[in-house]
Chain A
Amino acid sequence: MNILIPTPLRPYAGGQQTLQVEAATVGEALSALTGAHPELRTHLFTPEGRLRAFVNLYLNEDDIRYLPDKENTHVTAADSLSIIPSIAGGLAV
């Protein structure tokens, strides 16, 4: 499957926009990704191993947080996983 790397994380992914990994689930895809590019791990996960709150993972059009099987969701070679840091802000504290 393809994993789309956002601009800020590209330096830790060999400068590539898209990486291909072989995986059966979203979790396996993330393991393959961070195995090949270990520097990505601290940008994606907390020291406790949880996905950082501001990191969104979309399997095609779906937020994996809302998929029934979450990171255990099965994937195929035709799927795309997008890593998208959140965007928010404003005047209010």
Chain B
Amino acid sequence: MSILRLPRFVYDEIRAHGEETYPQECCGALLGHPAPDGWRIVASVRADNTRTDSAHNRYQIAPVELVHIQRTARRQGAEIAGFYHSHPDHPPQWSPTDFAEAHWLGSSYVITEVAQGKAGRTNSFLLAGTTEEDKHFEDQAIMMDDESIGAPSA
């Protein structure tokens, strides 16, 4: 199983973001560096959820904001390693919509459950595969400050 390594402050930031936007979904990007067994994250970048018509159960990051995030990453000598969003009052498991709209092969997709405004479990899934036709999510372990906090569980 691959590993997503996060500093504690990034882990705390993405969970706090989910609490702040509750009952709507939050979203953002993770910047980092490739590691032999996954990604080593160095920073998170908050993004606006442009799905204002259905922000409680959908999220979308404007492409132009992704362009800016990509430039920011390169200025910092990092890469877009993945993305995060929240599931208000639902388990932190990827949904059919999450899968259908996932196109960053090799990237981590991190989901935090936010129950009644409080961040619960945070899971990570690697979008594996080489094409749109064979892509699939694989459970990914999260290590915070190099200490394991577990792998996705239902």
Chain A residue numbers with a CB within 8 Å of B106 are 7-8, 11
Q: How many A-B residue pairs have CB under 8 A?
A: 100
Q: How large is the interface on B (under 10, 10 to 19, 20 to 34, 35 or more residues)?
A: 35 or more
- Is there an interface contact between B58 and A92, defined as CB atoms closer than 8 Å? yes
- Is there an interface contact between B101 and A86, defined as CB atoms closer than 8 Å? yes
Chain B 94-115 interface mask (CB, 8 Å, partner A; 1/0):
1111110111111101000000
CB distance from B91 to the nearest CB of A (A): 10
- Is there an interface contact between B80 and A90, defined as CB atoms closer than 8 Å? no
Chain A residue numbers with a CB within 8 Å of B19 are none
Main DSSP-derived SS at the B contact region: mixed
Chain B residue numbers with a CB within 8 Å of A92 are 54, 57-58, 95, 97
Bound Cα distance from A58 to B60, whole angstroms: 17
Contact with B67, one of A7, A42, A61 (Cβ below 8 angstroms): A61
Bound Cα distance from A84 to B87, whole angstroms: 24
- Residues A89 and B103 in contact in the complex (CB < 8 Å), given A17-B74, A82-B70: no
The chain A residues found within 8 Å of chain B, CB to CB, are: 4, 6-8, 11, 17, 42-43, 52, 54-56, 58, 61, 63, 82, 84-93
The chain B residues found within 8 Å of chain A, CB to CB, are: 25, 27, 29, 51, 54, 57-61, 63-64, 66-67, 70-71, 74, 79-81, 83, 85, 87-88, 90, 94-99, 101-107, 109, 131-132
Q: Top 5 A-B pairs ranked by shortest CB distance? A: A90-B58, A89-B98, A56-B63, A88-B60, A92-B57
